[in-house]
Amino acid sequence: MTGRAEEKRCFALAERLQKLIAAAGLCSRRTAEEWIAVGRVRVNGETATVGQNADPETDTICVDGVPLTPPERRVYLMLNKPRGYVTTLSDERGRPTAAELVADCGTRVYPVGRLDLDSEGLLLFTNDGAWMQRILHPSHEIEKTYEVTVAGAVENAAAELAAVRSIDGEPIAPARVRLLRKGKETAELSVTIHEGKNRQIRRMCAAVGLHVKRLRRVREHTLSLGALPEGGWRELTADEVRAFEQEK
């Protein structure tokens, strides 16, 4: 191989430093750029610059003096979380955790967002920190759809929920609400939101006098829960993972 061909090969293998740091799960790309700008990143002993490329196979990349370790195999999972499981890696009160249900996936993964103890349905897990940050960042407005069974004065439940613009004095974006079925004292609604404030749907329901009997997340962006059994998990396909990179 000629020297010029070798140079081209090395350039092709090199990637922007911020991308390599994010891929290692340390932070988002934007945060990595900030770290580079303030001199926290060095390549082969030299202070790195924003926009610099590096090849993790041949270059020594250090963040705060600690070598950047090669990323492990990236894992992306979808769990159908049952009610009664907390969305943490461990629980000081000894309650069962959603992480226990995916413990046999072969590597340590982390929940992307949360579902509270009494909520169920679609919950993502990954060991890809950059991908997680992208999904969770409010600017990307990832839509989430829930099927919610409510009790109380349900005659105009869908319209009342769709009209909620604040909860506990905090402004919220309007939800899309659709009536799925209605009984005399209960109704099942489809509620789509993209902000994901803490216990948002339960608080919205409380604001209009409705009691939540069941709350189940069935869709996140383009990903649907489908027929995945309760307590079961599966890996996302490459297309499903890429879809979250193209949400806008």
- Please give the positions annotated as active site: 116
Helices (H), 42-140: 98-101, 129-136
Q: How many helices (H) and strands (E) does the chain have?
A: 8, 17
Helical residues (DSSP H) of 38-188, grouped into ranges: 98-101, 129-136, 157-162
Q: How far apart are CA 217 and CA 198, in angstroms?
A: 14
Q: Pairing between strand 120-126 and 211-220? A: parallel
**CA-wise closest residue to 128 among 84, 76, 92, 85:** 76
CA atoms of 42 and 216, how far apart (whole Å):
46
